[in-house]
Every structure is written in C-alpha cells, then in structure tokens.
Amino acid sequence: MLNDRGFAFDPTSGETFQLSTTGLRIVRLLQQDTGHEKILEHVIEEFEVEPNTASRDLADFLLSVKQVGWISE
Amino acid sequence: MTPTLRLPYIRPTLSRLNQGPVNPFRLGTSPSCPDIDGISVPELTREHGSPLFVFSETALRDAYRAAHRAFSRRYPDVQFAWSYKTNYLNAICRVFHQEGAIAEVVSGFEYEKARHNGIEGHNIIFNGPHKEKADVERAIAEGAMLQVDNIDELLHLGEITKGRTEPLPIALRVHLSTGVQTVWSKFGFSGDDGELQQVVRRILAMPQLRLVGLHCHIGTFILEPEWYRIAAKKMVALALNAEAMGAGPIRYLNMGGGFASHARLHFQYLPPEQATPSMDRYAEAICDTITAEWPQGRTLPKLYLETGRALVDDAGYLISTVVAVKRRTLHDPVATALAAFGKNGPATVAGAPSQNALVLDAGINLMYTTTWYQPRILPVRPCLDAPTPTTVFGCLCMNIDVLREDAPLPGLTTGDQVVMHPVGAYNQTQSMQFITYRPAVVMTGPGGQVHLIRRRENLEYVQEMEVVPSHLQNPE
Ligand SMILES: Cc1ncc(COP(=O)(O)O)c(C=O)c1O
C-alpha cells in the first residue's frame, strides 16, 4: 500500500516506510514495469539533477528497494 | 521532450519507519519557511535581531472572524471574550477587541490591563480561583461579570454586598465530567453530584446576590468536540434546574475556552491538519445542543466563549538561529541500564547510533509550551536534502533545555535560521527572563508593515525592580 505522499505499508512484513518525492516517482515507474534505463531518463527529465548524480542515486535507491524485497532483480 | 520546468531534486530515499513515536507523516519532505506573512525572515531579523517572535495580524483577525462566523451562523447571541492569559501583549488584545471580543481576566493585574486596553468593566468577565478583595470591589463597582469559583468567594461576596438594594448579578463556575479526560475539578463547583444545587440554595438565601449565569471550562486543547456537546447539555440542565429552584432567569451560559489550535502534543500520532477539529465542529456541538435542549419558545441564553489558544496560537512564530551543530549519541536504554550495574562495559560504544543535533539561540524559557507540545521547526532556507530526526537544543546552560527531541530537519549548519510554529499561545505570558534577555516581538500587518509590539529586553529593564542596599552600593 502506497499513498500519494510516499507513505508505504508493506502488508507482508507489517512494516511502514517513507519515500521521498523522487523515491515515490521511481517506485511508481517500477510499478508500471518501467526499465531502469528509462527510469533514469524520466528522473533527469523531470527533476533538476545532473545525470551523474541521478544515476548514482538511482543505483543506491534501487538497492534499498531490493533490500526491503519490493523488487528482485 | 524536456519539460520546460523541472522539479527541484531530492535524493530518492526509502526510510523504514521504526522509531517508535516518530510519526511517518513528519518524514519524507523538507518544507521550509522563507517568509512570514510575505516578509522575508532574514529581513525581519536584520531589523529586530534573533531570536524574534512574530505575530501575523492577518492571521489573528482571520482566526477570530472564522470562529465568530462558525458560532454566529448557528446561534443568535454569541459573544467572544479574549482570554487574557493566553497572550496579553496589548497589541494582540487590541486586535481582538477591535474585532469585537470583550475581555476575560483571572486576576487584578489582567483586569487592569483590560481596562487599560479600553474595555469597560461591564465587558470584562472576571474568572479565577483567587480574586483579591480590592479587585473584587473594583469589579463590582464597574459592573464586571463575576464568575464565582468557590464557597469562600461566594461568602465574601455576600458580605461585601450586604444591604445592596439592587442584587449583584453573578455566575457560578462549574466543573463537569464530559467523558474521557480528567475533570478540571480544581475550579468551580461540581455539576455532577449535587454540589452546584447546594450552592444555588445558598444564593437563594442571599437576596443581595442573583444568579444569572453558569460558566464552565472543561479543559484545554480538546481534540474531541463531542465533549462540548456533553458539557452543553449538562449546562442547560443545570441552568433549568437552578431556575426551577427559584434562582430566576439564567441569562447566559459561558462555555469557556479549550478549542485546539494546530499545535501538536507530544506523542500525538496524527498531524494537526488531521487531528485538530474545525471551528464548525465545536460550534455545532455547542450551539445545536443548547438550541435543542433549551425550552422551545424561550429566548436562548447569551452564549459566551473564552477561546484562547485557537485564536492566537497559529498566528505566532519564533525565529531562531543555529549557533552550533553537534552529533548526539543515542544511548541504547538496555545497555545504559546494564552499565548502571557494571555489566557489559560502557553504555556508549564506538559506532553507537547517533543523530544530528543543533543548538539554537532561543531556549525553553521562551517556549514553555514545549513541555506539552512539539513545535514544528522549519528551516528558513529551502533545503533539498531529506530531513532526519534532529535534536534541537535551546541556548540555556541547562541539560533539560531541549526544544525538540527529534525534529525532522535537513542538515542545517551554523548561521542557518529556523522558524518555530505555532507558538502564539501561552509562550509569551509564561516565558521568563532567564540567563538571556527576552527577544523583541513584532506584528506583521496586511500591507507588509512590521510593527514592533514589545522591545527586546535590556539590563535596565531586567534590573528595574531591584534595590541595592546602600552598604552594597559602589563607592562614588
Ligand atoms: C476560565 C478559562 N477560560 C478560558 C481559557 C482559555 O483556554 P484556551 O486557551 O484553551 O482556549 C482558560 C485557560 O485555561 C481558562 O482557564
């Protein structure tokens, strides 16, 4: 369960999470099965960010999303 | 396709919310407060220094009008009385008086202040468990509305009004159980166990006094409007009962104050935007109940309200400056307990969790209400990094001087400014001069004006009341 303010409740673990606005955008794109390359393009297009920073942060972020078990690959 | 306007970037983060009382809605965004009422914060402090209390005149007037509208839409005869103790800076009292509020005072000092602010005696509601003899006499002479708190006061009133040809109109303060919260039984007479009726009987034996009103103030920061419904219902029943006993017509019901502002209690889970009821809900609970319970066809009693915090709290801000940045080690409570018994070595180990901490130039002597409430603390400069729980210390040389244990703040640095909000209720009146001078207070006007309404204290002011005996005077 994820609301539009980035508050997430994981019913399998019972844990709650908070996503930053950028994080929320990325999770929404993941929910639509958007590929990682495409997500990076979206982030750079929609936010004021350098491609290098965006790419580094995206990699970090995807790692944390994987750690909580929301994505597998 | 590149959109012409890109959003400000924040690092994408996913944080697990596992910090006990930390509320999820407090994390995840890093809002800022670059201006108050359209006036830039650095501009305000350049002129008036830091820390600085700021009150928005527009917010004061808007809050009053909204409250008045909510009640007067539903009830024909409503009068608000500004509760002086909530904030008795003259400029603030006068804004409310200009809007139409009379005064509610609880001491001779507040009474004098109200008179000084141009309020006539008959427009002053005089409450409180201790009223000095001279103050009561003045109040009687000037026709103030006395709300009697206890038997001693009643007997004293009976004595000083003996032989009056025209009976003195009085009201009785009542305390009521309205539901979940503790009853404020310190004040007034119980409306639940027959005590009030006993007192009414006593008044019936004193022809120089006449009961014309009932007063109750069920508590403060009441988040449940239904408690007012219960209180209003009981107040009407008590009024009708007093009339049936022969007291004569009860002309007014005073429902006191207690409506919540957008402050946030410690451990309050929901944010104020969701927890604080609208004025309409309070108004509905009170007005609809009185209207429904009052005998059909009879003129409704006048309704007095002594709303304090709900009118002033949200209009007040405290600007403060970061004077030092620290890391604070978080002690594991179990390890600390074990360490107390000499077990498992020191409680603080390398790599123990720690969090950001800031020292501000304002202390808890200015922010008395942090005992119960957690002010929102916003950076003045828009910050894009994610907020993390940050301990906000005050500037006093005391370990207990903590303004917030875990304010969600981005990584601020020395010289950054923050704005605390809401701070308009009770902080002014309960602040004390301690270690530092108390700051200036300004009021921002609708046209961008900034009016100084209390000067920053200085040595002369602080020492004004002191007397140095001659043998301790400096030699000439
Ligand atoms: C008699 C009385 N009236 C009004 C008030 C104002 O209360 P509030 O600020 O909760 O509205 C108080 C405050 O304690 C009070 O004691």
What is the 3-class SS of chain B, one letter each residue?
CCCCCCEECCCCCEEECCCCCCCHHHCCCCCCCCEECCEEHHHHHHHHCCCEEEEEHHHHHHHHHHHHHHHHCCCCCEEEEEEHHHCCCHHHHHHHHHHCCEEEECCHHHHHHHHHCCCCHHHEEECCCCCCHHHHHHHHHCCCEEEECCHHHHHHHHHHCCCCCCCEEEEEEEECCCCCCCCCCCCCEECCCCHHHHHHHHHHCCCCEEEEEEEECCCCCECCCHHHHHHHHHHHHHHHHHHHCCCCCCCEEECCCCECCCCCECCCCCCHHHHCCCHHHHHHHHHHHHHHHCCCCCCCCEEEECCCHHHHHHHEEEEEEEEEEEEEECCCHHHHHHHHCCCCCCCCCCCCCEEEEEEECCCCCCCHHHHCECCEEEECCCCCCCCEEEEEECCCCCCCCEEEEEEEECCCCCCCEEEEECCCCCHHHHCCCECECCCEEEEECCCCCEEEEECCCCHHHHHCCCCCCHHHCCCC
pLDDT of residue B366: 96
| Whole-number Å distance between alpha carbons of B350 and B207 | 78
Half-sphere exposure of B180 toward its Cβ, with a 13 Å CA cutoff? 6
Residue B17 pLDDT level (bands cut at 50, 70, 90): confident
Cβ within 8 Å of residue B249, ≥6 positions away: B212, B243
pLDDT of residue B413: 77
> Do B386 and B29 touch, CB atoms closer than 8 A?
no
pLDDT of residue B376: 96
In a domain, A9, yes or no: no
Domain spans, chain B: 35-54+316-457, 57-313
> Which pLDDT tens digit goes with each residue over B386-402?
788 899 999 998 888 99
Residue B18 pLDDT level (bands cut at 50, 70, 90): low
| Whole-number Å distance between alpha carbons of B304 and B215 | 9
pLDDT of residue B472: 95
Mean pLDDT of B215-241: 96
Could you count the other beta carbons within 10 Å of the beta carbon of residue B148?
A: 24
Q: Is the pLDDT confidence value at B59 over 90?
A: yes
Q: Please indicate whether residue B343 or residue A45 has the higher confidence score (pLDDT).
A: A45
Residue A67 distance to chain B (closest CA, Å): 10
Domain spanning B35-54+316-457, CATH architecture:
Beta Barrel (2.40)
| Whole-number Å distance between alpha carbons of A5 and B196 | 52
Measure B217 CA to ligand 1 centroid, in angstroms: 7
- Which of B103, B110, B87, B175 is closest to B145 using CA atoms? B103
In a domain, A44, yes or no: yes
> Which pLDDT tens digit goes with each residue over B310-338?
999 999 999 999 998 887 777 666 666 76
Check if A9 contacts B (Cβ < 8 Å).
no
- Which of A19, B243, B474, B79 is closest to A9 using CA atoms? A19
In a domain, A61, yes or no: yes
pLDDT of residue B343: 65
CA torsion sign for B144, B147, B90, B43 is negative
Q: Is the pLDDT confidence value at B351 over 60?
A: no
- Which of B141, B222, B145 is closest to B181 using CA atoms? B222
Phi (first) and psi of residue B126, to 5 degrees: -105, 110
In chain A, how many domains are there?
Answer: 1
pLDDT of residue B382: 82
Residue B23 distance to chain A (closest CA, Å): 10
- Residue type at B380? V
Cis peptide preceding B129, ω within 30 of 0: no
Domain region containing A40: 21-67
Q: Is the pLDDT confidence value at B130 over 70?
A: yes
Residue A73 pLDDT level (bands cut at 50, 70, 90): low
Cis peptide preceding B382, ω within 30 of 0: no
Cβ within 8 Å of residue A35, ≥6 positions away: none
Mean pLDDT of B176-192: 84
* Contact criterion met (CB < 8 Å) for B8 and A65: no
Residue B367 pLDDT level (bands cut at 50, 70, 90): very high
pLDDT of residue B26: 45
* Superfamily (CATH) of domain B57-313: Alanine racemase (3.20.20.10)
| Whole-number Å distance between alpha carbons of B321 and B380 | 10
Q: Is the pLDDT confidence value at B244 over 90?
A: yes
Q: Please report residues of A whose CB lies closer than 8 A to that of B20.
A: none
CA dist list (Å): B7 to A21, B2, B232 = 10, 12, 51
Query: B191-230 burial, b for 16+ CB within 10 Å, e for fewer?
Result: bbeeebbebbeebbebebbbbbbbbbbbbbbbebbebbbb
Q: Is the pLDDT confidence value at B248 over 80?
A: yes
Residue B354 distance to chain A (closest CA, Å): 20
Q: Which of A41-45, B272-276, B333-337 has the lowest mean pLDDT?
A: B333-337
In a domain, A72, yes or no: no
* Contact criterion met (CB < 8 Å) for B7 and A46: yes
Tokens of B335: 């390890």
Residue B350 pLDDT level (bands cut at 50, 70, 90): very low
Query: Taking every pair of C-alpha atoms in chain A, what is the biggest distance, in angstroms?
Result: 36
pLDDT of residue B333: 67
Q: Which of A60-69, B64-73, B454-463 has the lowest mean pLDDT?
A: A60-69
Q: Is the pLDDT confidence value at A7 over 90?
A: no
In a domain, A46, yes or no: yes
Write the DSSP symbol of residue A2: B
Residue B6 pLDDT level (bands cut at 50, 70, 90): confident
Beta bridge partners of B253: B214, B303
Q: The whole model's pTM is what?
A: 0.81
Q: Please indicate whether residue B187 or residue B101 has the higher confidence score (pLDDT).
A: B101
Residue A10 pLDDT level (bands cut at 50, 70, 90): confident
Ligand 1 binding pocket (C-beta < 6 A) is B 83, 86, 104, 127, 217, 220, 256-259, 306-310, 425
Average pLDDT, chain B: 91
In a domain, A39, yes or no: yes
- Which residue does chain A place closest to B28, by CA atoms? A20
* Contact criterion met (CB < 8 Å) for A22 and B24: no
Q: Please report residues of A whose CB lies closer than 8 A to that of B10.
A: 20-22
Q: Please report residues of A whose CB lies closer than 8 A to that of B269.
A: none
Measure B433 CA to ligand 1 centroid, in angstroms: 24
Cβ within 8 Å of residue B422, ≥6 positions away: B261, B262, B263, B313, B314, B315, B316, B317, B375, B376
Q: Please indicate whether residue B186 or residue B40 has the higher confidence score (pLDDT).
A: B40
* Contact criterion met (CB < 8 Å) for B14 and A47: no
From the list B3, B10, B24, which residue is nearest A22 (CB)? B10
Percent of chain B with pLDDT over 70: 90
Mean pLDDT of B144-164: 95
SS3 call for A11: coil
- C-alpha dihedral, B93 to B423 to B29 to B38, nearest 10°: 40
- Which of B35, B36, B119 is closest to B81 using CA atoms? B119
pLDDT of residue A5: 81
Cβ within 8 Å of residue B164, ≥6 positions away: B208
Q: Is the pLDDT confidence value at A13 over 90?
A: no
Q: If you count residue pairs, one on A and one on B, with CB atoms under 8 Å apart, how many are there? A: 79
Check if A21 contacts B (Cβ < 8 Å).
yes
Measure B28 CA to ligand 1 centroid, in angstroms: 36
Residue B344 pLDDT level (bands cut at 50, 70, 90): low
